[in-house]
Structure 1
């Protein structure tokens, strides 16, 4: 229980004894479930969930969240079920634990796909209960703090994921404190050398700045006290990662970044914020275009503050943020401030903004085709910069920097976006691709029956606009593909028509090709993913009246060469006439013929939707490429003798490669053309009868 002592002391500062006892029960279950498990550092695994719970307890989270934090890995890593958790601790805790658990039971083709699906699940769980993402952020924060014991490659991968996804989510939820630590830890793990160099340089630069900073703070403080304004002034240090990012984005030196001095003035009321702004502008000259009022128009994550940039003593630039105590607490803690600073209000601004964002996530999820598309759209929405534009009736719409009237239209409503044909910016007709700027009034002109244009995807910025345009075009494309597939199949059937076959046979073919229905088969043909000739062959069995589950009773399609069909011969095995063959149906490449014993198809021929039986047409003529490997002893003129034999057998040599082997033998790799199997057998027989030939094989 020694691990629980520190957490218990923290919990007792804001929870009653009964609630702490419940959490202690959850700790015991987690400790027993993780018994014998160790972290990469060698510490007992239970230290991790306890650390996550401690991070959350600092924000005074409710007992259910703390219990879920302690139990967040038991479903994934231990033999504990959701039902058992629900029985012991209630459905709320069980749902939270399930939401945080990773999606490990599904196998994905790539690591990126697996991460995208985990992320999608996490986002959807967050929509149900925002505490899921807060537990996940605390989990990631502790993992980042203990990253040192992992291999460098894994450290970089986790750090990259943290900087790309988790830090922006913390920012989106208004949690600047956690976001700042995640970025600092992620930066040091992702770019350790850059981090060390920058840290040393910043430390040296800051040492020389102390006197200037203290002078500016004294000047501001004296000016405020003279006007009887109660506020405190603090020097604000930029994070290493934000310095690095600014240097990278603006391609500027550290000296230029460090020439900007940042301060924060914290007062008691909103009215005082504006009064302080006036006094500061009379003390130092404000720089035009560098003032932002996030109190009147809060950021998308609920952040509120006045920002201004001034020209200070010696021409130095001074950035100042002016905010109230409650705004400062909200800026640091965001959504978590709901638990930390409970008041009569049920929701804080950050939480209301977070709920609006989660509502938009649900729409993105419904429109996205797959997890990769969903994560791409969400990443687009985790933007750092915003523009504020107005509707004609004066409502404010917040959009990411670079957004266009099309993004604006979709932000108002999906139907407005879909039927948009033109836009007016400040009463002037402007192209739909025009980037919007702060303070513009935007009016969207719509028309009934109008449709999204595919070219919009080249300039829209928001995930909502992108997802809706793709969704509309996808459905439109599928309808057109269905009609095209029907025409192509009718053409492949020749004298017959698709209407000549009954629905049972069509459904049977759809099932065998792993599609839900025959319309889906036609759509796949129209999209070029399925060859019409393959489905035509399946519709033409020897006995049309019999619908049999076994497709083997159908006569194999005859291969006549390349006329009338997109047919190619596999370069891995080089089939030739009258050998047993099988056809692989490739999207966009037509039919590829392999030898039946080819290693590349041997394991996969059971896939009816990709392979089909074929046979050579009687009397087929032509030249077919094969590869022959002849291992010969090192005799003088041996290459000339072998090529002479092959030429006399009426075969055309296309290419020769020579591999030197053990000094006594060489391997001659011939690429040549033959007429058929008999012709090849004759060549092999003629070559093999010479004494200098050690071994002769054909590639498989």
Structure 2
């Protein structure tokens, strides 16, 4: 029990004797379960869960979390089941242990589906119970502290995971102290030479600055004492990892070197009230000259993870730039421990902003989980949230919206509400009409203009930065594609059946849906529309007579009617631009939809023997819509020719999508117009009008 004695002293400082006794019982169980197992260092394995529990006990976490921390490896490494744990220690402890056990090894940069799925599990475990990830962070922290016993290549791999996943998660949860230690240990293990160089540079730069730091602390303290402001001042050195990160930042095209890093030294002033924070700031700016543009008020506008503090950079003695953070004692505890401060500060009226922000983030994770298609898409979305560099923006009503750096008005719209984002058509930034793709800056006021019936533009995906915007746009496109697929699948199935689906008995449809193991018939129709299931197979299940030779022959002669309203599932080939009136043929695309070609198109002429790729199609009677076609006009090279032709086309009510000019021999030009027409007769009338100009040599539709 000697291992437990040190932990027991920690626990007795804030837990009831009965709770300490239950935790001791879980220790005995874990010790016996791990009996004979050793760590890579040669130490008994039980030393690891005890060390993890000590880290969590220092944050005053609750009894269930500490019991789960002691038991967190027994399911994975020992012959212990979840049911055994539930019977002995209760369901909640068993669930926490099982939650931690499911979080297997993660490689953040890997593109393999299984590894992305592990990351997704970690995020979802956090949503279900935040304590699962707190145990995992403590587990990783102790593993990093004892990393030296592993092979160098394994050290680097684990260090990379730590810097790229665990440290950002700790930061997102506001746990600054754990994040800092994870980053420092990860930096030393991943880049040992770079870490050594930075540390040596700091030592050389330090010189007699210890005395300067002490002098600055005394100056600040004396000034505050003279003004009767109760505060505690401390100086610190920036960590090697944060110095290294700043050196990686480019200023324009210039890479920063060590001497460019201004705030290698910093100071922290801790006081009792928020009002005193602002009084202290005034005294600091009187004592030393502030550096313009280096003041940030995170008290009025907290960071996304709930962090609150005043930041200012001052020009100190000997030209030394010093960074000062001013905050209250509660803010300091929140900054160090984030969501874990919930357990440190259970009493009083203190609101744990970090916990509130974490809960909001986790609600967003649930929304992401519902709307993303797979684990790789989910991990791509969450990465944006894990590496935020915030900009703070205002609504016209004065509300503050926090977004990642590089965010656009579309991101802003979705941050307000999903419906606002979906119906967004334009925006005003600081009162002026601005592009939806423009990058927003700190302090701007953004007004979103919406319209009923407006829909997200798939092109927005090329510039949005937030996971909420990206996921909702993708979700809309997927639903749109699904609706198109269902409609097309219904028509293909009815073509194979030879009758309307409405005439088929609902009991038969339900039976077939169950037989194929689908939840609803729309899923089957979508698969048919996407080309994943043959319509004739489903038709045969619905009506066994469908597969007779006579029926097959009848079906093959009945072309699918194209209405022009099929949406994303029907694509009009850009090589030949078919329009109503043209003889057409349909081919199955790689994405499962259909591409319509003209029958004389060279791109399909040589593949007519591949019957599985072709679908007989024809235009619906009285089809309504606009269809793109390429019109070529050869003209004499005269002044004003282009203006006259484009004016004629526009006056005829035809939209011009694109114009290209090809100078021939200096005396003639070839004008290529990409235009939208209703049908062949509409195009023929337009060609006839253009031919009336005396400068026109030839007009033709490009084939």
TM-score normalized with structure 1 length: 0.71
Q: Distance in 2 between matches of 1:96 and 1:538?
A: 46
Q: Distance in 2 between matches of 1:263 and 1:104?
A: 40
Shift of residue 518, structure 1, vs aligned partner:
6.4
Q: Find the partner of 1:298 among 297, 302, 316.
A: 302
Structure 2 residues not aligned, in runs of 5+: 553-587, 594-611, 613-703
Are positions 1:473 and 2:473 aligned together?
no
Partner of 1:461 in structure 2? 465
Q: Distance in 2 between matches of 1:588 and 1:293?
A: 50
Shift of residue 332, structure 1, vs aligned partner:
0.9
Per the alignment, in what secondary structure is the counterpart of residue 342 of structure 1?
coil
Q: Distance in 2 between matches of 1:232 and 1:172?
A: 27
Partner of 1:358 in structure 2? 362
Shift of residue 238, structure 1, vs aligned partner:
1.3
Are positions 1:422 and 2:464 aligned together?
no
Q: 1:485 to 1:119 in 2, by over 3 A?
A: same
Q: Distance in 2 between matches of 1:588 and 1:334?
A: 46
Partner of 1:630 in structure 2? none
Deviates more, 1:50-59 or 1:257-266: 257-266
Q: Deviations over 1:323-354 (max 9, x none)?
A: 12221121111111222233223742222222
Partner of 2:235 in structure 1? 235
Q: 1:163 to 1:527 in 2, by over 3 A?
A: farther
- Any conservation in 2 of the 1:99–1:121 contact (CA below 8 Å)? no
Q: Find the partner of 2:259 among 252, 255, 261.
A: 255
Partner of 1:133 in structure 2? 133
Partner of 1:58 in structure 2? 58
Q: Deviations over 1:121-162 (max 9, x none)?
A: 232222232222211111111111122233333322322221
Partner of 2:526 in structure 1? 523
Per the alignment, in what secondary structure is the counterpart of residue 43 of structure 1?
coil
Deviates more, 1:290-299 or 1:121-130: 121-130
Q: Find the partner of 1:381 among 374, 385, 388.
A: 385
- Any conservation in 2 of the 1:261–1:319 contact (CA below 8 Å)? yes
Q: Distance in 1 between matches of 2:154 and 2:218?
A: 47
Q: Distance in 2 between matches of 1:147 and 1:189?
A: 8
Matches within 5 A, 1:191-210: 191-210=191-210
Matches within 5 A, 1:619-658: none
Matches within 5 A, 1:10-409: 10-102=10-102, 112-250=112-250, 251-257=255-261, 260-345=264-349, 347-409=351-413
Partner of 2:443 in structure 1? 439
Shift of residue 69, structure 1, vs aligned partner:
0.5
Per the alignment, in what secondary structure is the counterpart of residue 262 of structure 1?
strand
Q: Deviations over 1:288-307 (max 9, x none)?
A: 22211111111111111111
Q: Distance in 2 between matches of 1:36 and 1:369?
A: 44
Q: Distance in 2 between matches of 1:518 and 1:7?
A: 59
Partner of 1:410 in structure 2? 414
- Any conservation in 2 of the 1:260–1:316 contact (CA below 8 Å)? no
Shift of residue 236, structure 1, vs aligned partner:
2.4
Q: Distance in 2 between matches of 1:224 and 1:347?
A: 28
- Any conservation in 1 of the 2:50–2:70 contact (CA below 8 Å)? yes
Q: 1:17 to 1:454 in 2, by over 3 A?
A: same
Per the alignment, in what secondary structure is the counterpart of residue 545 of structure 1?
helix
TM-score normalized with structure 2 length: 0.71
Q: Distance in 2 between matches of 1:41 and 1:547?
A: 70
Q: Deviations over 1:419-468 (max 9, x none)?
A: 11111222222111222222222221111111111111111111111111
Are positions 1:2 and 2:5 aligned together?
no
Q: 1:513 to 1:103 in 2, by over 3 A?
A: farther
- Any conservation in 2 of the 1:174–1:332 contact (CA below 8 Å)? yes
Q: Distance in 2 between matches of 1:294 and 1:420?
A: 30
Deviates more, 1:371-380 or 1:72-81: 72-81
- Any conservation in 1 of the 2:68–2:96 contact (CA below 8 Å)? yes
Q: Deviations over 1:385-432 (max 9, x none)?
A: 212212222222221122122111111111111111111222222111
Q: Deviations over 1:339-395 (max 9, x none)?
A: 223322374222222222222222222212122222221221123421221222222
- Any conservation in 2 of the 1:103–1:117 contact (CA below 8 Å)? no
Partner of 1:626 in structure 2? none
Q: Distance in 1 between matches of 2:501 and 2:415?
A: 46
Q: How many residues end up aligned between the 2 structures?
A: 547
Q: Distance in 2 between matches of 1:221 and 1:376?
A: 47
- Any conservation in 1 of the 2:530–2:591 contact (CA below 8 Å)? no
- Any conservation in 2 of the 1:490–1:498 contact (CA below 8 Å)? yes
Deviates more, 1:129-138 or 1:32-41: 32-41
After superposition, the CA RMSD in angstroms is: 3.4
- Any conservation in 2 of the 1:377–1:467 contact (CA below 8 Å)? yes
- Any conservation in 1 of the 2:177–2:337 contact (CA below 8 Å)? yes
- Any conservation in 1 of the 2:305–2:358 contact (CA below 8 Å)? yes
- Any conservation in 1 of the 2:170–2:179 contact (CA below 8 Å)? yes
Matches within 5 A, 1:534-613: 536=536, 544-545=544-545
- Any conservation in 2 of the 1:390–1:442 contact (CA below 8 Å)? yes
Q: Deviations over 1:29-79 (max 9, x none)?
A: 112222233323332222211111111111121111110101112222323
Shift of residue 23, structure 1, vs aligned partner:
0.5
Q: Distance in 2 between matches of 1:388 and 1:47?
A: 45
Shift of residue 314, structure 1, vs aligned partner:
3.4
Partner of 2:608 in structure 1? none
Per the alignment, in what secondary structure is the counterpart of residue 545 of structure 2?
coil
Q: Deviations over 1:610-652 (max 9, x none)?
A: xxxx9xxxxxxxxxxxxxxxxxxxxxxxxxxxxxxxxxxxxxx
Shift of residue 519, structure 1, vs aligned partner:
4.7
Deviates more, 1:173-182 or 1:429-438: 429-438
Partner of 1:690 in structure 2? none
Q: Distance in 2 between matches of 1:104 and 1:285?
A: 52
Structure 1 residues not aligned, in runs of 5+: 549-553, 555-584, 591-613, 615-700
Shift of residue 193, structure 1, vs aligned partner:
2.4
Partner of 1:597 in structure 2? none
Partner of 2:677 in structure 1? none
Q: Distance in 1 between matches of 2:18 and 2:64?
A: 13
